[in-house]
Every structure is written in C-alpha cells, then in structure tokens.
Structure 1
C-alpha cells in the first residue's frame, strides 16, 4: 500500500507526491500564468465572449452591453484568482487486493483521500493512471471534503494478458463550482499489479520414474546410518528420552538426542521452451500462452504434492537459482516466485535447447538435478529432438508436452519427433492449444497405461 502522499492544489507549477512512508509535502505556489492555463473550454468561451462584448460596446457606444461584457470576462478571471489562492492539503493512499492476480480475473484497487488541511476542499476529481490493457482510466468526483474528512473509492481492473503493470500515479483535478478552471496535480507514488498465468487444478497421477509415496522409497540417510554417522543435536524440552544419544552426550557433556528422520524431497524440473522460432502465433489463445499456463499449473500442482520444483527455460536460467533449487523453501514462497517469473517470460532468441541441457547435465553451475522432468516444448527439428532425448538421461522420469499443427506438413514431422522422444524414454503428450490440461495430464498416469512408448493420440479432443 502506498504511503500517504500529499499535494497542495493551489494553482502552483510542478507537483510533489509523497514518497512511501515519507513526510507530507506541499508544492510551491507558481505564477498566475499557470493558473490561467487551467481555463476550461467553458472558461475560455466566457472570456472570449466578454472581450467581444466589450469591443462591440465600445464601437456601438452601448453601456449596457459593456456591463454584460465585463461580467462575462470577469467571471472566469475571478474563478482563476479564487482557485489560485485556495490551498488544500490532501493525502492519498492506494491498496491492491490482491497484488498478484491470475489472468482474466479482477483485482480491486482501493483509494483513500484524507483532507489534512483546516479548510474544506472544493470540487475534486481523482483520476488514476492505468495501462490500457487493464481497462479505462477510472475517474471519481468528490463534491466536498470537510477538514479532517476522509473519502474512500475503489475500482476494478482486469487483464487477459499476463505481465507486470504499474498503477498510478494518481492525478488530482481541482475545479471551481462553475467549471471555468481546472487544475491538475499528480502524486509520485505508484503500485505494481502482477498478472500471473492462469492455473488449473490437476488430478494426482503416478508419473514414470516417480518413487512410491513421494519420497518414501528413497534413501533415508539416518535410517541406514550407524552410530558414528548420526548427527545429534542438543536436547529440547519435550524430546523423547528414548532418542538420547549417549555417546554424543558423554562427548559434549550435555544431553544430546538423535535428529528426526528427514526423507529427501522428490525433485522436479519444469522446462519451458521459449524460443521464438519454436512457436507460431501470439495473443492469449496462442500455443505459447497455453504452454506458459500449463507450466504454471504443473509447477503449482507438484509443489502441493511436496516436490522441490524449479523452473528452467532454454536460456539456462533456473528459478529458484542453483542455491535454492534443492533447499527446503516454503512451497507458497516458491509458487509465488515461479508465478512471478512466468508472468513476465517472453520469447527468447536462443537457437536451441543447448543451455538448458547444460544445466540439466550439471553444467553452468546448475548442478545435477535427478528427479522428474516435465517439458513444454515447441517445434523441434532433428537436432533439437536428439538433444531432448539426451536430457532424458538426466532424469528419473520425463514427460514432454508437444503442440500439434505448428508446422506444415505437421503430421509427418511431428509424428517422427514424437516417436524419437518415446524411444528415448519420454512420456509424450501431444496436444492442441486450448485443450483441457487436466485431461491431458491424466494420460501421463503410469498406472493407467501412460507408458513412454504408448500409441500417440490423434490431435484434438
């Protein structure tokens, strides 16, 4: 939420918006020329009509017309002077709910305006700056805010396109009751709305290469270790006395207990092919956007099942990085990090998957990452298909999702690539953009015949 920013709409030049958590700032008074520049079309029309009436009255010698002309010309000028001398100090804060929202869903933006001066405000209009993809710019008219008063307004934003969008700064327009003058002031602070890919709830399936019980069949170092291999810790209130390690207690001179068994978390790498040459089309319904949404769904699903998940693209940059790939990061924090990364992922200019392969085989500081590999691949030529086949050697199980119809003639080229990947040990799931991912994911279940060499499905549902 923005810290309170303040502005003093007193027809001065320039603006000062409060920084987050900073003190209230009041803008300096500018010249009267700046206030005259705020005349609206109505004010300029009154001024022009008054000037014309004065000239005509002088030429025709009509005193009554002269008084009318003076009145018409004086009204906007009086409004300028009054608005110029009026000083208001207001504080505005903004809150996004939520700050991270899936594509095609709405987020609520709350605005709060506080009048911190000793005088009531005149007519105010608030306008928040938002990108066009989030919808039209919201405008609110506040008739009068009493001294120390507060007004709260809200509006909704929605985007079909993932990304990170700035909201703000807020513009404050001060007008007179006759609509003759309109002065605009801006605050400097803004917020960022992150639109992440949409995720779908996937059914739990047993994948090829996955140990039964999600890690229960994996080795447990403490279960097979002898007394000399046990790493004890100090006794804590409530520890079972049957876990006391007497040899370490005698060595350290204080009560020591054996650590709890810690099963190793199963690991998974979600590989997303972002090469520009591998995808056709653009927009929310394109195959690439389907793959981005699919990668997000798979990553969140496996995190919920207890996997240590990392995201890898063809650029070779894993998320979390090498230091965090195998650590016990909170699943919620990891999911947020992965979704934030996928919110801004774009096409790359990489010629192939070589960098991703180097990370998977332990190069570029990525370290070996045995476990499950789920790949969302674009169009593959013979060289990239062979490289993807070698990736399978670094994983306990591998699932590849391949789009159909990106190349012509599609059937012959794609069918050959699917066959080669299956022969390399991949479980291949061909799809068409827009296909339901839960139905597709269910076909990777090894207990229902989803073996790497299964017969290819015909594209489409």
Structure 2
C-alpha cells in the first residue's frame, strides 16, 4: 500500500477499528530468518558468515593457517558491517503535518510528509510510517518519489495519506521507519528516521435545538437574573491609583467625582456561569461481573491508554453538547470532574494555556480539546469526607451568581450517592442531573429524590438522542 507522493483527492485512507471490537491476528514471519530474529544481517551477509564458518571448520580439519585467515575475514566482515550500521545516523529530515491540525473522531484527517535530503543524491530507500495498532500497517513510501523537487543540493519528496480515527484521544503517528543497509548489502537494521507526532482526535459536538433551559420558565437563553449581563459589565469597585496600575483600569467617572485618579477593582463576573460536572469514577460507568461493559481504550500519545466505556462516551458527548449550547446562549462554561478538579488539569489534551471559564467563539473547540483525552479514574472512597468538602468548595467558588447553573452528568447512582450530592450542592442552585445508565427504570427512586429537591433530573441510556433529552429536561417544571 503506497499513498500518493503528491496531494490528491484519492489518497489512501487508514481507518481505526473500534477498540472494544478490534481483534488482530499476528501474521507469522514469512522466512526462517525472521522467525529466528536474524534480521540484523541480510541473506548475503548470512551467506558470507556461513562461508566463513565452513572455512573455519575446514581450516581446523586440514590444519591450514591461510584458510584460517580467510575464514576470520569472512566471519568478521558482516559482523563489523552490522556493528558500524548500528551507530549510523539518517541523513533524511522529516516534517509531518496534519490537515486539519486536530481531527474529529470518525472524520478524515490528511497526514502530509515532507522528506528532505541534503547533499549528494540519496539512494533509493523504502520507508514506512508507523501507525497505532488499530489502524493496521502504515503506508509504504519509496524515496525519492518520482515527483521529487531539487533546490540546489537539497531534494524533497512529498507524500500524503488519510486517517480516520474511530475514537477520541491523542494518537502517536510515526516514527517513519526505514530498513538501512551498508554499501555491500551485508547488514540491515530498521531505523526510526524521526520522532512520533501527536494527533489529537476531538469528540464530536452535537448542536442542540433551541429550547427552554431546564428549570427556567422564561424564553430560551433568558437568564434568571433581572439584569442583562454583557461582556463589558462588571461588579465595579474603585480604589486610589497605585504606581504600576495600567492606565486602562482608570475609572474616569470616579476620578472626576473624587478629583484624584481612581482605578477599577472588578469582581469581573461578566456573564452567568454554567458548571458542567462529569463523574469520572470507574464504578459509575464500567459495570463488573455479569453484564460487564466492554472497555474502550483512549490513546494518550506515548503514555498508557486510559479506559472509557460506551456510557462514559455518551456522558462526555452530552457534556460537550450542553456546554456548547449554553456558551452560545451567553454562559461561561466550567468543566470539572467529580473531585472538583478542572478538566483542563486532568486531561493530557488540554491546551497549555487553557483558561476557564470557556467563553467566546472558540469555547466549543476549547472544550472539545479539553475532553479529547479524558478517561475514567478510581472512585472517591465514601469515607473520605475531605474529598467531598473539596468538591463543595470548588462548586461554591464557581457558582456565585443567581443566574449560575450546575449540570451534573453521572453514571450509576445509588440512593446514598444521590443524598451525598444533595448535601454537597444544596437546593439553592439551579441544578440539572443526567444519570447515564443501561436500565433507566432502575433509577426511579433516585430521580424522584432529585426532583423533590427542585432539580431537573433524568435517567438516560446511550441509545437516546441528546436533543430529545434536552427538550424533555426543558419541559420539567
């Protein structure tokens, strides 16, 4: 399988199999040399080595010293070639780019390779790009390509192929490998020409239809507060100017009234806030024993993959869809887990400068990136009350305005766990609860306890449509 050496619409596509249904049989080695792991010498090299061994045998048998010298030369030459090849360096420079820079799960992304060589014309060499196991064997490239460009002493070849990741995560693409040999064709070794590149596969975001917000009796997007909040409105307090304060913070009306420079000291709550809390505990989303759920592996680049499940994937899908919808209606979005930690701090895919709350035109993309590598974690032991205190303090710090909202996305929830959430959150905050389970009817008692506290609550299954769920939550009074 060789992808095109120039960009085109019919480049080869490598699809990833779903982790929970992918089974791959290793192909048996084709030759005896591969089965015995003797690949550091070529067939010619092993032939020369065998000839040396035979010459050595006859030298001892016949007692001829000149035959002994010939046998040593035949034995040591291929071994010396393999030793020198082991410490050789590649003269190829590889640049790997992705278009788009971040993929979306179950969507195609183009991988483009630029392989350059400086100096004399490079000999023909066969390369292969390394892909994660679920994609199968990577593309085979022949360098230089028939469309190689030459600029002075440098030659470049372009190659392109497509990937379609089935799940979210951070995929290691590469390194580009080559079978490097010596000039006499006696030794060979697989060599990594470059380092792996990280391809972030984002979860898909579903756009929700306009509907009444759960717990609201007004129209869509109407905040519960009477005042209209805009990105330029602040809870403003003023103080005297101090050396080092920026001129942009000078509050001119207060300065005119006081006759001295006054600066703004804002509470800076420009928009109402929605906190989306996602339960990441394994016990809530990965049932054990009879009816155990298949584990979905979420790649973490070169680190150990994290576990997920079908229900947890739906929970993240719901968190992203609801968060995106609320951000478009004027809310700033905080994504946290069941320990009160920001998703940006527990996800390997989060942007290095990721800020919360997620607001503005890029809020959806930033949330997708933050959720791309999130996996399940061990549950919080029930006896550790300090952990529940941390969750309560985290929520208290984030939910300060009357227009703020809390969305809890949980898994299997017992009555005791429901009471714990009721004691942590209280009844003063507008709360929406989604429990993602396999059998919704089993949580009737839990849902009733949430609704008695004035919360909007539904038990859902992964087969339900998020739009229908959101509309049903909006109709709850």
The alignment's TM-score, normalised by the length of structure 1, stands at: 0.65
In the alignment, which residue of structure 2 is the partner of 1:42?
43
Shift of the alpha carbon at 1:155?
Answer: 2.6
Q: CA deviation at 1:245?
A: 6.8
The 3 A distance-change label for structure 1 pair 43 and 273 is same
The corresponding residue for 1:301 is 325
Q: 1:382 aligns with which of 412, 415, 434?
A: 415
| Structure 1 residue 291 displacement after superposition | 1.0
Distance across 2 between alignment mates of 1:49 and 1:362: 74
Q: Decide whether the 8 Å contact of 2:276 with 2:319 is kept in 1.
A: yes
Q: Deviations over 1:90-114 (max 9, x none)?
A: 3221212234323222332221111
Deviation sequence 1:231-265 (CA, Å, 0-9, x none): 79xxxxxxxxxxx97774475589x9x9xxx9941
Unaligned runs of 5+ in 2: 1-37, 60-70, 231-235, 240-250, 288-292, 297-308, 346-352
After superposition, residues 400-415 of structure 1 pair within 5 angstroms as 400-405=433-438, 411=441, 413-415=442-444
Give runs of aligned pairs for residues 209-358 of structure 1, distance below 5 A: 209-210=215-216, 214=221, 218=225, 220=227, 248-249=255-256, 264-279=270-285, 280=287, 281-284=293-296, 286-319=310-343, 330-332=360-362, 335-337=365-367, 339-351=369-381, 358=389
- Distance in 2, matches of 1:336 and 1:246, equals 37
Residue equivalent to 2:300: none
Assess if the C-alpha contact under 8 Å between 1:275 and 1:351 holds in 2.
Answer: no
RMSD: 4.8
Are the counterparts in 1 of residues 126 and 178 from structure 2 also a CA contact under 8 Å? yes
Instruction: Judge conservation of contact 1:272–1:291 (CA < 8 Å) in 2.
Output: yes
2:157 to 127, 141, 151: 151
Cα distance 1:355–1:306, how it changes in 2: closer, same or farther (>3 A)? Answer: farther
Q: Which moved more, 1:244-253 or 1:48-57?
A: 48-57
Q: Describe how 1:55-94 pairs up with structure 2 within 5 A.
A: 89-94=91-96
- Residue 272 of structure 1, CA deviation: 0.9
C-alpha distance in structure 2 between counterparts of 1:390 and 1:335, whole Å: 34
**Max Rg structure:** 1
Could you tell me which residue of structure 1 aligns to residue 143 of structure 2?
A: 142
* Cα displacement (A) at 1:269: 0.9
Change (3 A) 1:123 1:54: farther
Unaligned runs of 5+ in 1: 1-36, 59-69, 224-228, 233-243, 453-461
Cα distance change on mapping 1:186 and 1:245 into 2, 3 Å:
closer
- Give the structure 2 partner of residue 162 of structure 1: 168
- 2: distance between equivalents of 1:286 and 1:87? 45
Q: 1:122 to 1:326 in 2, by over 3 A?
A: closer
Report the CA distance between 1:43 and its aligned residue.
Answer: 2.4
Deviation at 1:289, TM superposition (A): 1.8
User: Map of 1:376-455 to 2, 5 A cutoff?
Assistant: 376-390=409-423, 393=426, 396-405=429-438, 411=441, 413-445=442-474, 450-452=475-477
2:350 is matched with none
Change (3 A) 1:433 1:181: same
Please give the secondary structure, in 2, of the residue aligned with 1:165.
strand
SS in 2 for 1:171: strand
Q: 1:208 to 1:405 in 2, by over 3 A?
A: closer
CA distance in 2, matches of 1:105, 1:46: 49
TM-superposed CA distance for 1:186, in Å, is: 2.8
Query: 1:282 touches 1:288 (CA, 8 Å); kept in 2?
Result: no
Alpha-carbon separation, structure 1, partners of 2:277 and 2:397 = 14
**Aligned partners of 1:195, 1:172: CA distance in 2, in Å?**
27
CA distance in 1, matches of 2:411, 2:444: 14
Q: Distance in 1 between matches of 2:89 and 2:452?
A: 77
Aligned length: 375
- Are the aligned partners of 1:128 and 1:168 in contact in 2 as well (CA < 8 Å)? yes
Task: Quote the offset at 1:115 in angstroms.
Answer: 1.3
Kindly state the Cα deviation for residue 337 of structure 1 after the two structures are TM-superposed.
5.0
Contact 1:403 1:431 in 2 (8 A): yes
Distance 1:317 1:246 in 2: 40
The offset of 1:416, in angstroms, is 0.9
Does the 8 Å contact 2:273/2:332 carry over to 1? Answer: yes
Offset from partner CA, 1:399-426 (integer Å, 9 cap, x none): 21123435xxx74x41111111111112
1:8 alignment partner in structure 2: none
Whole-angstrom CA distance in 2 between matches of 1:325 and 1:425: 32
Between the aligned partners of 2:154 and 2:427, the Cα distance in structure 1 is: 66
